Amino acid sequence: MAKNLILLGLPGAGKGTQADFIVKDYPVVHISTGDIFRANLANNTELGQKAREFMDAGDLVPDEITNAMVADRLNQSDVEAGFMLDGYPRNEAQAEFLDSYLSNNNKSVSATLYFEVSDSLLRQRLLGRGRADDTPEVIDNRLAVNKAANLPLVDYYQRAGVLHTIDGGRQLADVYRDVKEVLDNLD
C-alpha cells in the first residue's frame, strides 16, 4: 500500500531532517512546495508565470495556483508508490482541496506527522543556524505566523484520524524511531 504522508511542524522542528531519513527507508517521494514553485518558475510554466506575478508584487500566491501546482506534481508517475508533502497544505482550504483531489484519484492521506517542539528549543535551533536574518525578533514573528497556520491543520488532521504527534525535541535517532513506528504500522 502506498504511503502518502504530510509533514507538519514549526520552523526548526526537524521536518527536513526526518524527511531525509524517511526517503532512505521508504518508497516515498519527498515533495517540497518550495521545489514545486522553483521548478514552475524555472520552466516558465503557465502556473509559474501566474505565481510570479503575485510573488513579484510581494503577495502570497493564491491557494488555487498553489493547489494546481501540487495537483500537477501529484499527477507525475514517480509518486505512485507514495509521497511525502512538506510545506503543503498551509491552511485548511488547501487541506480540503488535497483530500478532494486524492479522493478523486482513489488515494488518501495515510498519516500526518506533526513534529512538536517547545518554542524555546525552536528559538535555540533557529538562532543556531547562523543566518543573518535569524534575529530573535524575526524568529519570534516567524514562529507566531507559522503557529497560526499550523494549529488549525493539526486540528484538521486530528479530526480526520490521521494525525500522529511526535516529540521533535529529542535526539534525531529517538525522533526517527517514533516516525518508523508510525510508518511501519500503516500497512
Domain-wise residue ranges, the chain? 3-184
Q: What is the pTM of this model?
A: 0.91
Is residue 60 marked as binding?
yes
Residue 1: CB partners within 8 Å, gap ≥ 6?
110, 186, 187
**pLDDT recorded at residue 134:** 82
Segment 43-95, tens digit of pLDDT: 999 999 999 998 888 888 899 999 999 999 999 999 999 999 998 999 999 99
**Is 27 flagged in the annotation as binding?**
no
Cβ pair 145, 96 in contact under 8 A: no
Q: Is 13 annotated as a binding residue?
A: yes
* Position 1 confidence tier, pLDDT thresholds 50, 70, 90: low
Residue with cell 500500500: 1
CATH number 3.90.228.20 given to 3-184: no
Tell whether residue 14 is among the known ligand binding residues: yes
- Residue 58 annotated as binding site: no
- 133 or 148: which leads in pLDDT: 148
- 52 marked as binding residue: no
Distance from C-alpha of 77 to C-alpha of 74, rounded to nearest angstrom: 8
Q: Is 79 annotated as a binding residue?
A: no
Q: Rounded CA gap, 137 and 4, in Å?
A: 36
